[in-house]
Structure 1
């Protein structure tokens, strides 16, 4: 437990409620903005909040739009990443934070990538876990990514994107929630690409209501907390809307005029990849990030899968603190 952690709400200027956790920094140390991925909430940072605050660093960890205790609009158009980036800056404004260190995991790295372009003056450093920098304005071709995976590894990594883009995916996940937990938090990291990445595998998994043993990196309490969060009304709808928004071109208009100059990261950047992550491979993270890191780039690896925050807490802590303290 972090004794001075506070949970707060913010209503954005366009009328949406966000919930976030915050811990103040000590002795003028930096504050770290923690942006969770999919399917997660601010609670997935519990170890990192403890480790960073113990080292004197401040923390701000929101439930992103569509997750946890934040609002969950049903409309796909509500999930424009430029708009969500603005929401995050309003949280920073409320906390009186002019500059922070940005840390994003999975889809949180996608949100952080937009913050880096639309609000670069708010950041001292960037840290991307698992998925790296996602340069805004460069179309993400899921078909090409899957074709590349088949060519180089013999396996399709992003087959589940097509499922998440379907109309019935949120209801199917919600009606088989324990099975969905087993699907997204794999017991065996190296089989994840077969169970989630292969075309049609996610739908088949849920239809068969497959439930696997608890992963060694999570506790029964972790599982119960996750099930409670994703049992909330519209939790599976809102969270999957990020996928739908990207695949349906919701961000295209906002990002159409961006250049490589706009996409350049002008503060130091760290990526941390999981050596056992068979879907978000570390080599892709490096390939997407390093060309845009104009002020220094560091890449670290931990012996973990996608959920490194749970699986290798010490490895993530070491990499983070070394980078922050540089």
Structure 2
């Protein structure tokens, strides 16, 4: 299994500090997520219904009709490599490691690329995460469509993972008409702060969506998850307010880190990314104070998610002062 953010219990055991005494900044998930209401008891007594209002709510929110609900975008990341013959796959790196891992496990040739100097010659599939995780790099729609056009000349795929794009929906490819070879992944885990639902969406040409649907089998997403997601996607007032709050919080985090010479090398509205030769030492010293960050080896760097409460901000500042 690859390393990811979270896994708080492991760190609590290692540093001998109770889980309740940690501030987890390792995941990039909105700490003030959509407020889930009390659920009717009947929710727990029914199998999921594909004819509920979820797809309609998602089509309105994402501005596209070609959508399939999946049990987290991770499920699609794992399944998509099965639907191509052995291919040459380029991944704009560094990025979310599961993309490369899943394509390699399925027998494809995977190489890391940098899009600004990327020659797509010889590639059958290009995978782009925008905003990127963990660098925060954003790839313009125009640049992505140029890549898609070139790949389509040889029946290639462009896979765009938009897990962190919800604060800037105007940058999404989803409102464009469905195009052969264009696959877009979305998640309710990050912006909505609902990672525990394990719910996401795939937009792709209908034949590929049918393949994915068949591979997932019946009832891939729990009825409770569908019910909650529908309401969250329809809550436009919360979405607009949260976009403003996250932008402000991200700017505040970058400013706070810079006060202690941890200058952001990149980031987005849900996290800041700091490249530093001292990443491992900073990660360890913060963990000793009960603050968990996401440590990366290549390049040596840290990802800081957003504190949620004002007391969390003060706790982070106190910990940074002690580095």
TM-score using structure 2 length: 0.29
Greater relative contact order (Cα 8 A, min sep 6): structure 1 or 2? 2
- The structure with the greater share of residues assigned to helix is 1
> Which structure: larger Rg?
2
TM-score using structure 1 length: 0.29
